[in-house]
Amino acid sequence: MYLNQNYVNLDTQSNFLNESSYNFTNVKKQAFIIIYIFMLVFISISILLYVSQILNINKQSSKLLNLEKKLESIQAQNERLEVELSSKTSLAEIEKIAKEELNMVEASSKETLVYNNQFKKEETYVADIPKEKFFLAQIYDKIIKEVITVQAESLE
Amino acid sequence: MRDFNETLKNRVIFYFAVVFILFIILVLRLFWIQVINSAEYEHKALSQRVKEFVVDSERGIIYDNTGRKLAVSLPAKTVVALPDNVINPEKTASKLAELLDISYSTIYRRITSDAAAIFLQRKIDNNLYQKIKAKEIRGITFTEESKRYYTEGKLASHIIGFTGIDNNGLNGLELSYNNHLSGKAGKMIVERDAEGKTIPNGIRETVPGRDGYNVHLTIDEVIQYMAEKELKNAETKFDFSGGSIIVMDSSNGDILAMANTPAFDPNQFGKYPEKNWRNRAINDVFEPGSTFKIITAASALEEGVITENDILTDPGHIYVEGEEISCWSRYGHGKQSFADVVKNSCNPGFVEVGLKMDKKIFYSYIKAFGFGEQTGIRVPAEARGIIPEYNRIGSVELATFSFGHGLSVTPIQLVTAISSIANGGKLMRPRLVKKVDTGNSSENIINEPQVVRQVISKSTADKTKELLKQVVESGTGTQAAIEGYEIGGKTGTAKHYNEDVYDSSFIGIVSTEARDLVVLTILYDIQGETYYGSQTAAPVFRNLTSNILNYLNIKPDTNHKKGYEINNQELEVPNVKGKSFLNAESDLRGKGFNVKLIGDGETVRDQLPSSGIKTNYNSTVWLFADEKSKNEILLAVPDFRGMTGMEAIKLARQKGLELVLDGSGKVIGQSVYPGKRIKSSKKINLKLR
């Protein structure tokens, strides 16, 4: 009995909705539902995007951490190699290799040559050619000398 | 049926009530944890995830003056045991004992201890780390620490020193510059997960530290290597306990090399005895012997008590207050100028010169040259040297000081003092560190060259240098000569008391166009037949110096002028008695004499040598304010034997002595024993035949 009464009431309500006076409210309700759904989708997408961004950031951070670690180890390796290079190129090591592997020996004596570019250049002139080499010229000079020389005692 | 329903209902209500009460309790507890006591739990949770680390600062690098790294820091692994994680301690200990420098029992004891983590071996090398890592032993892990590496091994080990396991300097510049080198540790706070991995985007805060400052030395790696090599070569030729070599640029006090033997490798300093760690060039003293004569000569020349032309006599010994002091040459060097005294390294000649100076004056010069006090080189445990107290010094001590005995100096003091002669009289503070690089050029600490004091004038310094060149050209230091280069120097040989053990040395001034280098070589505790400085230290000096000159690209000059030439001209001493000091001095100096004034007064009462005597050009004439002070002067008696009467009289007058001759011919006997010091008023009888 009690149940039947309720059904009756439902029917009455259903009838009430079918009424034209209630149409505007119905549309409004539907619009709200659409907005709700849209909002729900939007929020869901936003949440998804947010989560994915967080995940992405975490992933990148993790990558960054790994890279930092790698950099640190490479730097340490680099420093170690630099030290190794210094040790290998130390004078003691070079001498050891030179003597033991290349069979080099120390010079017992060394000669230092100094290039001196301040030497005097002796200039020779054609006119300075020794006279004695030109016999004819000497005779000629003598004759000329005899001719032009005037003796003080001479009456002439 | 109704009873049953009621019982069921009551039960449901009861259980519901119980669950409800439990739920209420749970809610209350949650409220307690989440709201009331939230801060405490938040803190606990955070402290589980957040770890705080001390980030060690990197210790500064030590460079030589060519920019080569001598000491650097690198990360190194430390082997850590986690006893709770070790599964089989016996097996673990035996595996590790094969690789580490620790015994099985020690490892076993440590890995079975109660500690959560324990260091097994700190700062192991990379190869060992790879080997242990490859074994993958449970409960054994690694942590990273900073380790000091000395890339050049033994090179300059005494200068650089070393650090301990905690990276603090323990010796050398690592100790004295520890404050600059060590820096300041930083802090890092990181959020980590249960596995100990850093949580990305977690808490990450850093309190930055400060890395240590880099230190730039004045040492030249190549010269340092050459010096160490020469000492090593000397070890094969001579029998000695150790040696030191210092190369100094006299113009600015820069130490270009400082080598010592025995040496050690600072990478493994614990494997060497402690005596190897000593920087003998700075920490130890030695009796300088004849090398100290340079100081006597420079002081006497500066004071004007002697010139290079003054005549001195050496009969092979000299008596000072009854004590006989012998020359290294048994028969003595006879009559000689002071230049020859320096050249021959004649002990009685130097004693005479030393005693001509007042005790107060000579002592003040010794102090002014920096002996008896630290040079301020800033290396730990620098010795002061041993100079006896002023009040304890008598004539005998003064006499022995003049040829470098009875006092002890450090090699660095001797080099610094001789550098002052090389550079024109300026005593420089020796410099090992040129610059401390803070990373900010405006805040860099620059160690500028420092002049401590002007000890002697430039002219005296130059004159002393010229005299020293004679020593190398034709005196006791010919073994140090290098053709084409101007080198002045002095050998030194000091005998240990009551032992046939010697300290042999050579100190040389190498003149170049740009600067004068001072090179000191010392070989300690030499035994055997070859022990003289001229036979041992001088050749070491020559080899090293010729290599240095070659390295510095300083070319030989075979046409360089002969530095010092004796003027053989003789002058007659004028009579200046009764004249004012001022007039007498200008008169004498004008005629080419050196003048030494004794006493306070205005008028010259007496003079030495007397007037009318012919003596060397530029020799010293002593002027006295009263006759008494002249009579108090003690004069060394020459060995007149073998001389003619005229020769004996001339020599005696030049020295200020008076003779009474008996007979004719050559002197065969004299009333005062040669080498005795007598007052000028006392007459000496000579017997001639």
Mutate to test the interface with B, among A61, A73, A91 (most CBs of B within 10 A): A91
pLDDT band at B68 (very low <50, low <70, confident <90, very high): very high
For residue B460, give the nearest of B310, B617, B303 by alpha carbon: B303
Residues whose CB is less than 8 angstroms from the CB of residue B456 and which lie 6 or more positions away in sequence, other chains included: B298, B299, B301, B302, B420, B421, B425, B464
In chain B, the percentage of residues whose pLDDT exceeds 70 is: 98
Those residues whose C-beta lies under 8 Å from the C-beta of residue B652, and which sit 6 or more positions away, are B638, B640, B658, B659, B684
Q: What is the pLDDT of residue B197?
A: 77
Q: Are residues A90 and A114 in the same domain?
A: no
Mean pLDDT of all residues in B226-233: 94
Same domain, A20 and A89: yes
Question: Do residues A119 and A95 both lie within one domain?
Answer: no
Residue B1 has pLDDT above 70, yes or no: no
Domain identity same for A60 and A118 = no
CA distance A96 to chain B (A): 12
Q: What is the pTM of this model?
A: 0.81
Can you spell out the DSSP letters for B134-165? HH--TTEEEEEEEEEE-TTTTTTHHHH-EE-T
State residue A115's pLDDT score.
67
Q: In this structure, are A79 and A124 located in the same domain?
A: no
Are B279 and B383 contacting, i.e. CB atoms less than 8 angstroms apart?
Answer: no
B89: Cβ–Cβ under 8 A, 6 or more apart, which residues?
B108, B111, B112
**What average pLDDT does range B272-284 have in this prediction?**
94
Any domain includes A156:
no
8 Å CB contact between B13 and B6: no
Confidence of residue B406 (pLDDT cuts 50, 70, 90): very high
* pLDDT score recorded for residue A1: 42
Which tens digit of pLDDT belongs to each residue from B610-668?
A: 888 888 888 898 888 887 777 788 888 898 988 888 889 888 888 888 888 888 888 88
Q: For residue B509, count other CB atoms closer than 10 A to its CB.
A: 25
- Quick check: is A81 in a domain? yes
Residue range B53-215 in CATH 2.30.30.180: no
Which residues in chain B are closer than 8 Å to A112, comparing Cβ atoms? 484, 550, 555-556
Least confident of A27-41, B198-212, B316-330, B504-518: B198-212
Check whether domain B571-688 has CATH 3.10.20.600, yes or no: no
Range(s) of the domain holding residue A11:
2-99
pLDDT at B285 exceeding the cut of 90: yes
Q: Between the ranges A142-151, B252-261, B548-557, B669-678, where is the mean pLDDT highest?
A: B252-261
For residue A44, being part of any structural domain is answered with: yes
Average pLDDT score over chain B: 90
Asked, for residue A153, whether it belongs to a domain, the answer is: no
Name the closest residue on chain A to residue B228, using Cα atoms. Answer: A92
Catalytic residue chosen out of the listed positions B182, B244, B290, B420: B290
A67: Cβ contacts below 8 Å, ≥ 6 apart: none
C-beta of residue B150 within 8 angstroms of C-beta of residue B71: yes
**For A127-136, B97-106, B485-494, which range has the lowest pLDDT when averaged over its residues?**
A127-136
* One domain for residues A48 and A83: yes
pLDDT at A3: 46
Report the DSSP pairing between strands B317-320 and B570-572: unpaired
Beta bridge partners of B684: B659
Question: Are A110 and B198 an interchain contact pair (Cβ–Cβ within 8 Å)?
Answer: no
Number of domains chain A contains:
2
pLDDT digits (tens, 9 = 90+) for B517-564: 999 999 999 998 888 888 899 999 999 999 999 999 888 877 665 555
Residue A7 shares a structural domain with residue A51:
yes
Under a CB-based contact definition with an 8 Å cutoff, are residues B54 and B205 in contact? Answer: no
Q: Tell me which of B27 and A21 has the higher pLDDT.
A: B27
> With 90 as the cut, is the pLDDT of residue B354 above it?
yes
Residue A90 located in a structural domain: yes
Q: Is the pLDDT of residue B448 over 90?
A: yes
Show residues of chain A in contact with B68, CB under 8 Å: 86
DSSP for B326-392, please give it. Answer: E-SSTT--EEEEHHHHHHHT-HHHHHHHHHHS-HHHHHHHHHHTTTTS------TT----B---GGG
For chain B, how many residues are written?
689
State whether B556 and A90 contact (CB < 8 Å): no
Residues A117 and A95 both lie in one domain? no
Per-residue pLDDT of B179-192, as tens digits, reads: 999 988 888 888 88
Q: Which helix (H) or strand (E) holds A108?
A: none
Looking at the fold, whether A92 and A119 belong to one and the same domain comes out as no
ipTM, two decimals: 0.73
What's the pLDDT score for residue A116? 63
Please give the pLDDT value at position B689: 83
Contact B200 A61 (CB under 8 A): yes
Using the 8-state DSSP alphabet, how is residue B557 labeled?
Answer: -
CB-based contact, B203 to chain A, within 8 Å:
no
CATH topology for B221-551 is Beta-lactamase (3.40.710)
Looking at the structure, tell me whether residues A95 and A127 fall in a common domain.
Answer: no
Same-domain pairing of A16 and A89: yes
CB contact at 8 A, B542 and B529: no
pLDDT tens for B451-483 read 999 999 999 999 999 999 999 988 888 999 998
A104 in a structural domain: no
Chain A positions touching B550 (Cβ under 8 A) are: 110, 112
B225 contacts in chain A (CB < 8 Å):
91-92
Give how far B268 is from chain A: nearest CA, Å: 15
Amino acid in the structure at residue B274: E
Phi, psi (5° rounding) for residue B615?
A: -140, 175
pLDDT value at residue A154: 37
Cα B126 to Cα B219: distance, rounded to the nearest angstrom: 30
Q: Is residue A84 part of a domain?
A: yes
pLDDT of residue A120: 56
Q: Taking 50 as the threshold, does the pLDDT of residue A152 lie above it?
A: no
- Nearest chain B residue to A91 by CA: give it: B225
Whether A51 and A126 map to the same domain: the answer is no
